[in-house]
């Protein structure tokens, strides 16, 4: 059984480490040859330096070679997925492309499964998502994720191939629901971080998390996802983790905005772009998305934290 992970960031590295258990043949691809050389020498990856790379893990900067594996885990940031797939000449007929990124592509306004379907229509798209920090997966701590694939045989096969003793995958055929859960929770996590950073307290965070989840459900229904999917690991599960942990970069961006402190611009914060996509959707549909649109204005600086909170709190009273 051979698997290639494309993208050597924190998440790709963690997945590659976890999958090396159980005798799988795993390759980790990074785009930068110098990074690959350094990883070979140090057996560490720059975005997850605390985790040693197993001896059995193959490291490469050769994309065409890595892409020959029958299962490819796509672990680059959402806005880079389309360009990554465009660099692979092969049409990947019958290859399983498992998206591990969380967000909405701003160019196509679709999630990862839509990007895959456009770039590689002959491939089998799937989504791996749910509450999990790279650090925990790499350390072998217990983690449960959603593996979504519309093709039943593939879903079962991938679930088996990608589960380990510490990584427990639940199966779903609702790819849109699974990928929306992962994308949308990041936006709500920014809002929750901002509330805590501004000193508004845990009760305000619980309100944002719950009303944010109501917005996630509205968007999911509009996009044809099933409510039960969002109630699972990839929706409610990941929302809970990301809105309550300092390990989350989305939450930490919110904290920095709330506190008025600096934030490292080199960190991957998927919720910032996803919020812009949601603001566009709110503009062009009748969907009521006050928290998501407020976050969109907050991250661009169009609203200050106090203006954002005023805008939310002064909305007309309504039924829950
Ligand atoms: N870090 C985590 O705990 C988790 C991350 N994710 C998701 O995984 C995705 C990737 O995130 P991280 O690995 O954390 O990010 P990261 O910031 O640690 O790494 C991103 C990696 O992608 C590479 N990259 C960027 N553009 C590229 C391109 N065009 N071609 C090839 N490589 C490119 C960068 O060089 C870097 O190695 C995100 O969508 C994130 O939401 C999902 C679950 C957990
Ligand atoms: O998706 C994640 C946890 O499930 C990681 O969260 P951040 O991208 O906010 O760090």
Residue 120 beta carbon below 6 angstroms from any ligand 1 atom: no
Catalytic residue, chosen from 120, 135, 185, 280, is 185
> What predicted TM-score, i.e. pTM, was given to this entire model?
0.98
Q: Classify 224 in phi/psi space as left (phi over 0), alpha (psi -120 to 50) or beta.
A: left
Ligand 2 atom at shortest distance from the alpha carbon of 102: 1
Q: How far apart are the CA of 37 and the centre of ligand 1, in A?
A: 19
Residue 1, pLDDT above cutoff 80: no
| Cα distance between residue 26 and residue 55, in whole Å | 11
Model confidence over 173-185: pLDDT tens digits? 999 999 999 999 9
CA distances in angstroms from 170 to 56, 73, 127, 190, 266, listed in the order given = 27, 17, 12, 27, 32
Is the CB of residue 303 less than 8 Å from the CB of residue 294? yes
pLDDT(132) > 90: yes
C-beta 15 within 6 A of ligand 1: no
- How many residues in total does the chain contain? 320
Q: Contact, 4 vs 29, CB < 8 A?
A: yes
Round to whole Å and give the CA distance between 109 and 258. 28
Strand ranges inside 34-84, DSSP E: 58-60, 71-74
Give the number of whichever ligand sits closest to the CA of residue 14: 1
Residue 312 predicted with pLDDT over 80: yes
- Ligand 2 first shell, C-beta below 6 A: 102, 131-133, 186, 189, 238, 241-242, 248-250, 270
ipTM attached to this prediction:
0.99
- Confidence band (pLDDT; 50, 70, 90) for 135? very high
Query: pLDDT tens digit string along 248-300?
Result: 999 999 999 999 999 999 999 999 999 999 999 999 998 999 999 999 999 99
Please check the confidence at residue 227 and state whether its pLDDT lies above 90: yes
Shortest-distance Cα residue to atom 35 of ligand 1: 9
- In this prediction, residues 198-227 reach a mean pLDDT of 97
Query: Which three-class secondary structure string do you get for 238-260?
Result: HHHHHHHCCCCHHHHHHHHHHHC
- Rounded distance from Cα 56 to ligand 1 centre (Å): 22
Spans of all domains in the chain: 3-173, 182-314
Q: In the chain, pLDDT over 90 holds for what percent of residues?
A: 95
User: Could you report the per-residue pLDDT of 45-72, keeping only the tens digit for each?
Assistant: 999 999 999 999 999 999 999 999 999 9
Tell me the fold of 182-314.
1.10.1040
Answer for the pair 6, 12: CB distance below 8 angstroms, yes or no. yes
Give me 181's structure tokens.
């859960």
Which tens digit of pLDDT belongs to each residue from 83-124?
999 999 999 999 999 999 999 999 999 999 999 999 999 999
185 noted as active-site residue:
yes
Q: Confirm whether residue 102 is marked as ligand binding.
A: yes
pLDDT value at residue 316 = 87
Domain 3-173 classification at class level: alpha beta
- Kindly give the distance from the C-alpha atom of residue 239 to the centroid of ligand 1, in angstroms, as a whole number: 19
State in Å: Cα 310 to ligand 1 middle: 34
């Amino acid at each position: 059984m051979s698997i290639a992970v494309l993208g050597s960031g924190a998440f790709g590295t963690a997945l590659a480490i976890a999958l090396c258990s159980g005798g799988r043949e795993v390759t980790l691809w990074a785009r930068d040859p110098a990074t690959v050389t350094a990883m070979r020498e140090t057996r560490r990856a720059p975005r997850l330096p605390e985790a040693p790379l197993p001896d059995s893990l193959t490291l490469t900067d050769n994309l065409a070679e890595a892409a020959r594996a029958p299962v490819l885990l796509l672990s680059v940031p959402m806005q880079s997925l389309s360009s990554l797939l465009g660099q692979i000449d092969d049409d990947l007929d019958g290859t399983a492309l498992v998206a591990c990124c969380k967000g909405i592509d701003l160019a196509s306004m679709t999630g990862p499964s839509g990007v895959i379907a456009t770039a590689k229509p002959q491939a089998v798209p799937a989504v791996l998502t749910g509450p999990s920090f790279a650090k925990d997966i790499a350390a072998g701590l217990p983690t449960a994720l959603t593996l979504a694939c519309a093709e039943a045989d593939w879903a079962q096969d991938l679930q088996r191939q990608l589960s380990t003793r510490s990584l427990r995958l639940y199966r779903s055929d609702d790819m849109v629901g699974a990928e929306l859960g992962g994308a949308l929770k990041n936006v709500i996590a920014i809002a929750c971080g901002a509330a805590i950073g501004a000193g508004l307290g845990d009760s305000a965070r619980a309100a944002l998390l719950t009303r944010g989840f109501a917005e996630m459900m509205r968007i999911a229904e509009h996009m044809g996802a099933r409510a039960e999917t969002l109630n699972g690991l990839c929706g409610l599960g990941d929302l809970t983790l990301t809105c309550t942990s300092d390990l989350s970069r989305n939450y930490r961006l919110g904290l920095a905005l709330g506190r008025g402190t600096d934030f490292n611009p080199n960190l991957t914060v998927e919720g910032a772009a996803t919020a812009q996509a949601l603001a566009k959707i709110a503009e062009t549909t009748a969907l009521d998305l006050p928290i998501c649109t407020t976050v969109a204005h907050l991250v661009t600086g169009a609203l200050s934290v106090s203006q954002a909170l005023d805008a939310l709190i002064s909305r007309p009273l309504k039924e829950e």
